[in-house]
Amino acid sequence: MTAIVIGLSHRTTSMSILERATLDGAQREDLLKRLNRSEQLHEVLLLDTCNRIEVYAYAATFHGAVTDIGDALAESTGIPLSTLREHLYVHFSDRAVAHLFSVAAGLESMAVGESQILGQLRDALRVGRAGGYVGGHLDGLVQQSLRVGKRAHSETDIDTVSRSLVERGIGKAEPHVGPLADLNVLVVGAGAMSSLAAHTISRAGAASLTVINRTHDAAERLALAVGATARPWTELPDSIAQADLIVSCTGALGYVIDGAVMSPGGGPQSFVDLALPRDIAPEIANWPMAQLISLESLHEGEGQDQDQVSAVRALVASEVDDFRTAERAASVAPTVALLRAQAADVMTLELDRLRQRAPGLTEEDAAQVRMTVHRVVEKLLHTPTVRIKELAGEGHDYTAALRALFDLDPAHAAAVTRPPAEGGEAP
């Protein structure tokens, strides 16, 4: 079995396609069930976020897995496969591992470096475990990706990249609405990205800051943390009318801000849309004195963040190498275990034969003989078992040779555990 990932994200398709591919809870479950029925896929995990939908799997065959995952995605999203195929990416083996680690580190997000993806990966793993879709291979891979993500945030400055995204949004807005110190700012949403925006705006010193969210308790918690005011969701139109700068990032499937919640007249306003799917309807750009700043336009100024991104890419590359080395070493473990089990069986068999041929052997003498033979076997096996693991980690697979040299067949291993017939020879 080999790891594979197939998906689409903001890097390979337009926002309109991503919005069409967004799944609700029932559709996610339907997709997982479709994937689970495939004979080509032994384990599956679905990662469905605001800017990506990805299927991770351990596959029996490459082409069979690509076909089954592509068909399931088309059926569940309602997007014809002929259309969907143009936007899908496929990563296999080491590249699949590298992609997952990059996703966990925030390198593949539109808001590069955001940490919300770690929670989304944990949720995907929890769902996969609960439904029986994730087994030992994917479980271990995803858990390692979570550790990689934590390392990226603790050992590099990748967190600053998302903050600079918000700062670029403010920078684009100020020529239109004036300096932040004179602005009334509204943050719509209370998730990770909205929280980052609120903290960034608060530190930068806005004249006033308001937080609004569908769940009012979450809005109040965020407002308390940044010294802002929380308002209930029903007051969204009034809150927009009173704001100069509106920053929105919710997890809504449809538009949160459109003509229905806008009031005519008033002064210039800037709308910064950090959400995907988009929170703010494109029509807002046509409203009098309104400026709409999209998430795509904010990526134009990413050049200054490349040092942090490069540092995380290097970390990911190192982690992929370590993971593959450990995985290759682990692949020889069954053969090594079989070799040791066979050696132990042979040792036990010969000691039993010695007791039959030397009935006068005392228990103390028998124990000494047993210990001596055990030490001899351990010393003989130590170097080959250590070396074969080292060689496997370096990419050299000698397990087939080891099985051939020692006749390590499960049926034979079972046979040598049977005691010999009375007075007969060992099998």
> What's the pLDDT tens digit per position in 156-205?
888 777 777 788 899 999 999 999 999 999 999 987 788 889 999 999 99
Cβ-based neighbours of 110, under 8 Å, separated by 6 or more: 10, 51, 276, 295, 299
- Residue burial 334-362, b: 16+ Cβ < 10 Å; e: rest: ebbebbebbbebeeebeeeeeeeeeeeee
Told to judge if 50 belongs to the known catalytic residues of this protein, a careful annotator would answer: yes
Q: What is the largest CA-CA distance in the chain?
A: 109
Average pLDDT, integer, range 320-341? 75
Secondary structure letter of residue 421 according to DSSP: P
| pLDDT digits 0-9 by tens, 29-45 | 999 999 999 999 999 99
Scan for tokens 């590298």, then name that residue: 98
Scan for tokens 């309602």, then name that residue: 78
Residue % of the chain over a pLDDT of 90 = 51
**Is the pTM here over 0.85, yes or no?**
no
Q: How far apart are CA 14 and CA 87, in angstroms?
A: 9
| pLDDT digits 0-9 by tens, 196-254 | 899 999 999 999 999 999 989 989 999 999 999 999 999 999 999 999 999 999 877 78
- Identity (one letter) of the amino acid at 288? P
The predicted pLDDT at position 413 comes to 35
| pLDDT digits 0-9 by tens, 49-79 | 867 899 999 999 999 999 999 999 999 999 9
* pLDDT level of residue 383 (50, 70, 90 thresholds): confident
Q: For residue 426, with 0-12 CB atoms within 10 Å meaning exposed, 13-18 middle and 19 or more buried, which class applies?
A: middle
> Which of 8, 23, 32, 50 is the catalytic position?
50
Q: How far apart are CA 323 and CA 226, in angstroms?
A: 40
How far out from the chain centre does Cα 117 lie?
7
Cβ-based neighbours of 100, under 8 Å, separated by 6 or more: 3, 5, 56, 141, 142, 145
Mean of all residue pLDDT scores within the chain: 85
Domains of the chain are 2-156 (3.30.460.30), 160-301 (3.40.50.720), 327-415 (no CATH)
CA angle 7, 8, 13 (to 5 degrees): 160
Confirm if 45 and 125 have CB atoms less than 8 A apart.
yes
Residue % of the chain over a pLDDT of 70 = 89
Estimate the crossing angle of helix 116-131 against helix 94-104, to 10 degrees: 120
Q: Which two tokens stand for residue 73?
A: 């995605």
Cα-Cα-Cα-Cα dihedral of 352, 356, 362, 368, to 10°?
-30
C-alpha torsion sign, points 25, 135, 69, 142: positive
CA angle 35, 40, 41 (to 5 degrees): 50
Q: How far apart are CA 164 and CA 141, in angstroms?
A: 31
Q: Which two tokens stand for residue 215?
A: 């769940």
